[in-house]
Amino acid sequence: MEERFKYEDRPDLIPAVSAVIPLMDYKLLLTFKSGEIRIYDCSWMLEEKLFQPLKDYEFFVKAHVSDDTVAWNSMIDMGPDDLYENSVPVLDNEVPIMMAV
């Protein structure tokens, strides 16, 4: 029987989120366990049926870390790979001026 690869066996391959801060304009400031800090733009999600509750900004700001990724509730979460691959890095020499809620 062929053994299948499992991410649990290689946690170094999964970009794990350690902290999230919701920002203005439906963006997330993400800190990954690797120490990288990145910004993810969630505005595209507002048009998707599954993510309609995020249009309520009071709901959006309830983003939190759950199982190494970002979640809002038991029905709405993001894949850590998507968060990493589709976010932009905050460079060490940048001093971003962002309004966190």
Q: What is the pLDDT of residue 9?
A: 57
> For residue 1, is pLDDT > 50?
no
Domain boundaries, the chain: 7-89
Rounded Cα–Cα distance for residues 48 and 10 (Å) = 32
40-85 confidence digits (pLDDT tens): 999 999 999 999 999 999 999 999 999 999 999 999 999 999 999 9
Question: In this structure, which topology does domain 7-89 adopt according to CATH?
Answer: NE0471 N-terminal domain-like (3.30.2020)
Comparing CA positions, the residue from 75, 70, 84 lying closest to residue 20 is 70
Q: What is the average pLDDT value for the chain, to the nearest integer? A: 84
CB 87 within 8 A of CB 23: no
Over 60: is that where the pLDDT of 100 sits?
A: no
Residue carrying structure tokens 């507002």 = 46
Question: pTM of the prediction?
Answer: 0.80
